[in-house]
Amino acid sequence: ALIAPHGGVLRELYLPAPEAEALKRHSASLPQWTLTQRQLCDLELLLNGGFSPLQGFLGRADYDGVVNDMRLADGTLWPMPIVLDVDEAFAARLPDHAQISLNDTQGTPLAVLTVEDVYFPDRIAEAKAVFGTIDRTHPGVAELLDRTGSVYLGGRVQGIQAPAHYDFSALRHSPRELRDWFHQHGWHRIVAFQTRNPMHRAHRELTLRAAEQVGAKLLIQPSVGRTKPGDVDHYTRVRCYRALLEHYPSDHAALSLLPLAMRMGGPREALWHAIIRKNYGASHFIVGRDHAGPGKDSQGKPFYGPYDAQHLLATHKDELGIGIVPFPAMVYAANRDTYVPQTEVQANDEVRDISGTELRRRLHQGDTIPEWFTFPDVVKILRERHPAQARQGFSLFFTGLSGSGKSTLAQAVLARLLETSSRPVTVLDGDEVRRHLSKGLGFSREDRDANITRIGYVASEVVRHGGIAICAPIAPYAGARADARQLVETHGRFVEIHVSTPLEVCEARDRKGLYAAARAGKIKGFTGIDDPYETPQSPELRLDTSTMTVSEAADRVVDWLRQEELA
Ligand code: PPS
């Protein structure tokens, strides 16, 4: 028989179909709460029994017990607060004993919460107790202190329907489904492996050894709800896991995705992970080095010791019931062409390892990634997701006065780029943009800012898809330029080029006759005449077309791009 769930019974909180239908109709008349991403993940695991024995979001007594002693009010071991945080204004509007409809971002009601408790948590104390720190470099702390509502609502939840997932649905299972699957396949001893990173050969060796050590089958159960900011996205990771699965002996390993919102809480989180895996029917759980660790604090010191999680779990071993399989990191011994646990390295071993940072660097630069490190099919997937820098999108953002030569220079740079490559390029020129994307906008500060935000948004989309976006608006305000930079930099480089041709020269050129009209008062609020231009303080490049030809200026841009390995 499979291991019993935590607390003895699997607590599935979905109502049977007819009642769920009635509750759904009822929910429309209740106060509506749109779940945050974390709350949505938590709710999914509450509803499907992954968080057994919890039957809702924690009330005050359970919360205090969990924060201070890692125990629910009834004494059950539970290390992580599962709370529904809301803002004060929402809480203030609630009647006594309110019911609330808990909705996804599309407005679909997923569950109803019957509020039994409304309380103000001491979030500083929570951070210290749960994470051991109030340093905001810790993503769990930053979320708790800066992005968590100040009021918690506790109470039972009743499930209407499961959150929708359109990705990898065949790889998503509830605890009951997974337990049924284990049963049907005659799997009784199962060791679960948690991960938030792509898996390489070292992970394969580690998991196989762990499974062999306890005579169990292997469940690879990566967290795909929310992991550490900056992690490889879960779509890419799941493609890598699927590829890796082919390299395991058949009928020894299974893959299932866990919609868990990680907190990066180190030891406490490891304990929580073990409890969740127990609910999914795993008899054993692998705890590696620095399990669920968030890295280093603002002083450069690791938040948790590398084996803190293993120690905490060992302390609660009997009570947990699930077998803990502590494992050291696996490293490659080149002389023996084999992987060995770090603790078994011999004096004459030629140890090799590639860190996550080094792997990212190699992907970025297009350098080789050796086969001893990872399988070629996994590398292929990672390379598709992280093309070398020379294939990454970027934006050239020309800014300067009317008549400074922005558009001409943009055209010249475009021509130069297309001479040597067939990369996709989009030009967002000032006048051109105002004919469609920004049609109807005028030249007030507000309208100009809106114009630049639109250009920044389109540029960010182009860059996201690996293209080159060449923008050439006046963009007179530093704030709007900074916003555009921020939009683009989520996906690639933003190269600000100040076309610094002096006003006298622009006015003397007066290509469109607008300066004359502005001087004559026929155009009001003309940039440089009776409207401001805030000079960029630290653009990537500054070029004055009155002291060089357009060709020379374009060469400077292209040379700069080559030097930065962008072109
Ligand atoms: S902004 O400030 O960035 O939103 O301006 P932009 O979209 O680049 O539009 C600038 C072009 O609009 C014409 N034009 C004016 N420019 C500045 N101020 C006023 N009041 C104005 N009215 C019309 C002008 O032709 C600008 O084009 P360029 O190519 O810069 O000369």
CA quadruple 246, 248, 254, 259: dihedral sign: negative
* pLDDT tens series, the chain, 567 aa: 899 999 999 999 999 999 999 999 999 999 999 999 999 999 999 999 999 999 999 999 999 999 999 999 999 999 999 999 999 999 999 998 899 999 999 999 999 999 999 999 999 999 999 999 999 999 999 999 999 999 999 999 999 999 999 999 999 999 999 999 999 999 999 999 999 999 999 999 999 999 999 999 999 999 999 998 888 899 999 999 999 999 999 899 999 999 999 999 999 999 999 999 999 999 999 999 899 999 999 999 999 999 999 999 999 999 999 999 999 889 999 999 999 999 999 999 999 999 888 888 898 888 999 999 999 999 999 998 877 766 789 999 999 999 999 999 999 999 999 998 888 999 999 888 999 999 999 999 999 999 999 999 999 999 999 999 999 999 999 999 999 999 999 899 999 999 999 999 999 999 999 999 999 999 999 999 999 999 999 999 999 999 999 999 999 999 999 988 888
Pocket test for ligand 1, best of 399, 428, 431 (most atoms within 8 A of CB): 431
**Residue nearest atom 20 in ligand 1 by C-alpha distance:** 526
Distance CA 200, CA 207 (A): 11
431 touches ligand 1 (CB under 6 Å)? yes
CB atoms within 10 A of CB 303: 22
Q: How many CB atoms lie within 10 A of CB 562?
A: 12
Which ligand 1 atom sits closest to the C-alpha of 430? 8
107 is in an annotated binding site: no
Q: To which residue do tokens 């020129």 refer?
A: 429
If DSSP codes are grouped into helix, strand and coil, which group holds residue 418? Answer: helix
Which helix (H) or strand (E) segment holds residue 426: the answer is: strand 425-429
pLDDT (0 to 100) of residue 312: 97
Closest to 39 measured CA to CA, from 51, 27, 31: 51
Residue type present at position 456: G
Encoding tokens for residue 212?
Answer: 């062999």
Name 557's Cβ contacts closer than 8 Å, sequence gap at least 6: 396, 409, 413, 416, 497, 541, 543
Helix (H, G, I), strand (E, B) or coil at 158: strand
400 is known to lie in a ligand binding site: yes
Residue 430: per-residue pLDDT: 87
Sheet holding 330-333, edge to edge: 338-341, 330-333, 351-352
Nearest CA to ligand 1 atom 15: 526
First CA to last CA distance, the chain: 61
Q: For residue 186, what pLDDT is reported?
A: 96
Which of 527, 534, 545 to mutate for ligand 1's pocket (most ligand atoms within 8 Å of CB)? Answer: 527
Q: Are 430 and 473 in contact (CB under 8 A)?
A: yes
How far is 389 from 440, CA to CA, in rounded Å? 38
Task: Let me know the angle formed at the C-alpha of 164 by 162 and 169, rounded to the nearest 5 degrees.
Answer: 105
Q: Are strands 284-287 and 323-326 parallel, antiparallel or unpaired?
A: parallel
Question: Residue 65: its pLDDT value, please?
Answer: 98
Which residue, by CA, sits nearest to atom 19 of ligand 1? Answer: 526
Residue 474 beta carbon below 6 angstroms from any ligand 1 atom: yes
Cα(442) to centroid(ligand 1), Å: 9
Q: Which two tokens stand for residue 31?
A: 């106060």
Give how far Cα 262 sits from Cα of 38, 39, 268, 487, 529, Å.
Answer: 8, 11, 11, 26, 55
399 lines ligand 1 (CB under 6 A): no
Whole-number Å distance between alpha carbons of 86 and 204:
42
By CB atoms closer than 10 A (0-12, 13-18, 19+), residue 454 is: middle
Say how far apart CA 520 and CA 512 lie, in whole Å.
Answer: 14
- Alpha-carbon span 180 to 184, nearest angstrom: 6
Burial class (CB in 10 A: 0-12, 13-18, 19+), 348: exposed
> Hey, is 32 helix, strand or coil?
strand
Q: For 377-408, b where at least 16 C-beta lie within 10 A, e where not — what string?
A: ebbebbeeebeebeebbbbbbbbbbbbbbbbb
Q: Is the peptide bond before 294 cis (omega within 30 degrees of 0)?
A: no
- CA distances to 39, 52, 174, 259 from 163, rounded to whole Å, are 11, 18, 12, 10
- Identify which of 81, 11, 83, 2 has the alpha carbon closest to the alpha carbon of residue 49: 11
Residue ranges of alpha helices (H) inside 280-428 are 308-315, 317-320, 356-365, 376-385, 406-420
Question: Known binder of ligand: residue 403?
Answer: yes
Q: Report which of 61, 59, 75 is spatially closest to residue 7, judged by C-alpha positions.
A: 75
Does 356 count as an annotated binding residue?
no
* Global confidence as pTM: 0.78
Strand (E) or helix (H) holding 130: helix 123-131
CA–CA distances in Å: residue 152 to residues 55, 146, 225, 348:
16, 15, 22, 57
DSSP state of 222: -
Which tokens go with 566? 């962008």
Is residue 90 lining ligand 1, measured as CB closer than 6 Å?
Answer: no
Closest CA to ligand 1's atom 4: 448
Residues annotated as catalytic are 195-197
Taking the centre of ligand 1 as the mean of its atom positions, its distance from the CA of residue 113, in whole angstroms, is 54
Non-local (6+) Cβ contacts of 380 within 8 A are: none
Sheet holding 284-287: strands in order across?
253-255, 217-220, 190-193, 284-287, 323-326
